[in-house]
Amino acid sequence: MAKIVILGAGIAGQAAVTLLRKKLPRKHEIVMISPNEEWNWVPSNIWVGVGIMGAEQVCFPLAPLYERIGVEFRVGAATAIHPEGDASSSRPFVEYVPAGTGGETRRESFDFLVNATGPKLNFGATPGLGPGEGGHSWSVCTAEHAVEASAAFLEAVERMKRGEEQTFVVGMGHGSCTCEGAAFEYVLNVEHELKRHGVREKGRIVFVTNEPELGDFGVGGLFLRHEGYVTPSHFFAESLFTERGIEWVKGANVMEVGPGRLAWESPDGSEGELTHDFAMLLPPFAGVGLQAYDRNGEDLTDRLFAPSGFQRVDADYGAKAFGEWSPRDWPETYQSPHDPRLFAVGIAFAPPHPVSRPIRTPRGHTYGPTVPRTGMTAAVMGATVAESIADLVRKGPEAPLHRNPFATMAVACVASAGAGFRLGSAATITMYPLVPDYERYEYGRDLESTTGEIGLAGHWLKYLLHYLFLYKARCRPGWSLIPE
Ligand SMILES: Cc1cc2nc3c(=O)[nH]c(=O)nc-3n(C[C@H](O)[C@H](O)[C@H](O)COP(=O)(O)OP(=O)(O)OC[C@H]3O[C@@H](n4cnc5c(N)ncnc54)[C@H](O)[C@@H]3O)c2cc1C
């Protein structure tokens, strides 16, 4: 009988836990440890953040689902991994702090561990960033954050209805942020909603991004086939913004967010500043701070985890200059090189390096967008690792691992540009491979599979995906037929 512990009931963790439960008979124990009692379909937080969906439409409670499918659920946050056990037993275990116990730790032993803890939302990296105490901006990273953002957004709309002019700033709250696509969607939805509320002419909208060019998205930009032409993604993104009257600041390393203002450093070393009435700025991500110890209690954290706090997997972490980066640096199995029983998926795995060329300022700061580990890639990694662990349990330790190279994943991204059955639209971008490969493709990617279109059909697809992925995550009949 095997015991598998999954840390983190997010997009990657849910893909892993549900597939493992489907693949393995009930005699094998599957335990989920996660601080959130509800599952959140994060992509639809965009719509919560402009007030057109409630949190209850993007979340559902996990305990009844796990009880139905036979997963033990420990509501709490993992703090440390002990892959060799301790002085009293060589059985590996993970320590966690159950919710509501005031810090008392508990142990859960395991035969296999999947780290799917996602990001620590590192608002502390920029003074004044974030919705918490001392913060002056909003976020849509969690459903709770999105509810708060929508209240502030709708207050700004009310002020506009009373005749006031308002400035909306949306973007990235630090030079090293990832997830530019999420901010891109949110700004398009802000613009769409201002129009729908009849106040667009009273609003200035500015997108502030760490991307060297709009449309970089942390993947070094892309050339895509659009209406029969090969178009660089910055043209595509710039035209979307231009036709909607959205201004942009690119290459910005946001240094400070104050009440009603924000300041950034530009690639040429100059400083910029903006005043705003509403700011939604995403934070940079870090690992959630898991520690690791050997059986004698010696600290293994530096061996299991990168300095960013993300877990090292089967990637090439050797220091290399931009020109030496290769698609082969990226992982395939998501297994820890330190211990074959440990895996990390989704945002929790440590990328070997960015994909976009880093920006270096005359002041010596280096920053730039980091590669997005989107919902789709997170779920694919979760499912790949679930297949591997199921085989290791059923066939023994010699069973080959399933491989799904991160670099060659095909990505489909439907970026909402505004909701509405008749007037909504979304940009549908497909991309293959995720990490550009200039040895194989003239433009880094296969132009047959790398495309971009915007239109109403995209909105319908986005809306359909919202329901499909919530349906799949709830393990409703036929759920496993829906692809990640
Ligand atoms: C606003 C927004 C919109 C987005 N839109 C899209 C989109 O349209 N398409 C797309 O593909 N991607 C989108 N993304 C990205 C997508 O949401 C992420 O890639 C995805 O959520 C990553 O999955 P994950 O499982 O790695 O992390 P998460 O989904 O964040 O899950 C991590 C889980 O780990 C838990 N956890 C945290 N700490 C611990 C701990 N110590 N112990 C145990 N558990 C812990 C968390 O509570 C959470 O449940 C969007 C992201 C944002 C923020």
Domains and CATH numbers, the chain: 3-119+287-395 (3.50.50.60), 123-212+250-285 (no CATH)
Whether residue 433 is preceded by a cis peptide bond, meaning omega within 30 degrees of 0, is yes
Sign of the torsion angle spanned by Cα atoms 191, 194, 195, 200: negative
Decide if 119 contacts 249 (C-beta within 8 A). Answer: no
Quickly state the pLDDT bin for 418 (edges 50, 70, 90): confident
From 42, 81, 373, the mutation candidate for ligand 1 (largest count of ligand atoms within 8 A of CB) is: 42
- What number is the average pLDDT over the span 203-219? 97
3-state secondary structure of 225: strand
CB atoms within 10 A of CB 32: 25
Tens digits of per-residue pLDDT, 262-312? 999 999 999 999 999 999 999 999 999 999 999 999 999 999 999 999 999
Decide if 415 contacts 426 (C-beta within 8 A). Answer: yes
Q: Residue with the nearest Cα to atom 30 of ligand 1?
A: 118
Within 6 Å (CB) of ligand 1, which residues are found?
A: 7-13, 33-36, 42-43, 45-46, 77-78, 116-118, 140-141, 179, 182, 288, 346-348, 373-376, 378, 413
Please state the atom number of ligand 1 nearest to the C-alpha of residue 119: 30
Please state the atom number of ligand 1 nearest to the C-alpha of residue 33: 43
Decide if 280 contacts 139 (C-beta within 8 A). Answer: yes
Q: How far is the CA of 174 from the centre of ligand 1 (A)?
A: 19
- What number is the average pLDDT over the span 126-135? 96
- Is 334 a residue whose pLDDT tops 90? yes
Quickly state the pLDDT bin for 136 (edges 50, 70, 90): very high
| DSSP H helical ranges for 169-324 | 180-196, 233-244, 301-304
CB atoms within 10 A of CB 362: 10
pLDDT at 454: 87
3-state secondary structure of 54: coil
Tens digits of per-residue pLDDT, 100-128? 888 899 999 999 999 999 999 999 999 99
pLDDT at 262: 97
Q: Residue with the nearest Cα to atom 7 of ligand 1?
A: 43
3-state secondary structure of 190: helix
Q: How far is the CA of 12 from the centre of ligand 1 (A)?
A: 8
- Is 228 a residue whose pLDDT tops 80? no
3-state secondary structure of 77: strand
Tens digits of per-residue pLDDT, 468-477? 999 999 999 9
pLDDT at 218: 96
pLDDT at 34: 98
pLDDT at 211: 98
Q: Which residues does 328 contact at the CB level (< 8 Å), separation at least 6?
A: 316, 407
DSSP characters over 454-472: EEHHHHHHHHHHHHHHHHH
DSSP characters over 247-258: EEE-S-EEEEEE
| Residue 200 DSSP one-character state | G
HSE-CB for 417 with a 13 A CA cutoff: 21
pLDDT at 427: 87
Quickly state the pLDDT bin for 248 (edges 50, 70, 90): very high
Q: Which residues does 448 contact at the CB level (< 8 Å), separation at least 6?
A: 225
DSSP characters over 155-169: HHHHHHHTT--EEEE
- What number is the average pLDDT over the span 233-257? 96
Q: How far is the CA of 42 from the centre of ligand 1 (A)?
A: 6
How is residue 48 written in tokens?
């919560």
- Is 253 a residue whose pLDDT tops 90? yes
pLDDT at 279: 98
* H or E element at residue 146: helix 143-161
- Is 20 a residue whose pLDDT tops 90? yes
- What number is the average pLDDT over the span 176-189? 95
- Is 130 a residue whose pLDDT tops 90? yes
- Is 72 a residue whose pLDDT tops 80? yes
DSSP characters over 316-345: --S---GGG--GGGS-SS-B-SS-TTEEE-
- Is 420 a residue whose pLDDT tops 90? no
* H or E element at residue 68: helix 62-69
- What number is the average pLDDT over the span 143-147? 98
Compute the mean pLDDT over every residue in the chain, rounded to the nearest whole number: 95
Q: Which residues does 382 contact at the CB level (< 8 Å), separation at least 6?
A: 11, 12, 13, 14, 15, 16, 19, 114, 116, 345, 346, 484
Q: Which of 5, 46, 13 is nearest to 189 (CA)?
A: 46
Tens digits of per-residue pLDDT, 361-401? 999 999 999 999 899 999 999 999 999 999 999 999 999 99
Please state the atom number of ligand 1 nearest to the C-alpha of residue 12: 25
> Where does residue 240 fall: left (phi above 0), alpha (psi -120 to 50 degrees), or beta otherwise?
alpha
Which residue did the predictor score with more confidence, 192 or 459?
Answer: 192
Looking at the chain, the whole-number percentage of residues with pLDDT higher than 70 is 100
Q: Residue with the nearest Cα to atom 15 of ligand 1?
A: 374
Q: Residue with the nearest Cα to atom 6 of ligand 1?
A: 43
Q: Which residues does 251 contact at the CB level (< 8 Å), separation at least 6?
A: 209, 210, 211, 212, 266, 267, 359
Residue type, 168: F
From 117, 347, 414, 470, the mutation candidate for ligand 1 (largest count of ligand atoms within 8 A of CB) is: 117
Model pTM score? 0.96
d(CA 64, CA 477): 16
Which range (101-105, 191-195, 237-241) has the least confidence?
101-105
pLDDT at 182: 95
Q: How far is the CA of 397 from the centre of ligand 1 (A)?
A: 30
- What number is the average pLDDT over the span 305-321? 97
- What number is the average pLDDT over the span 404-433? 89
Q: How far is the CA of 364 from the centre of ligand 1 (A)?
A: 32
From 282, 374, 406, 468, the mutation candidate for ligand 1 (largest count of ligand atoms within 8 A of CB) is: 374
Quickly state the pLDDT bin for 1 (edges 50, 70, 90): very high
Decide if 396 contacts 363 (C-beta within 8 A). Answer: no
DSSP characters over 14-51: HHHHHHHHHHS-TTSEEEEEES-SEEE-GGGHHHHTTT
- Is 423 a residue whose pLDDT tops 90? no
| Residue 358 DSSP one-character state | P
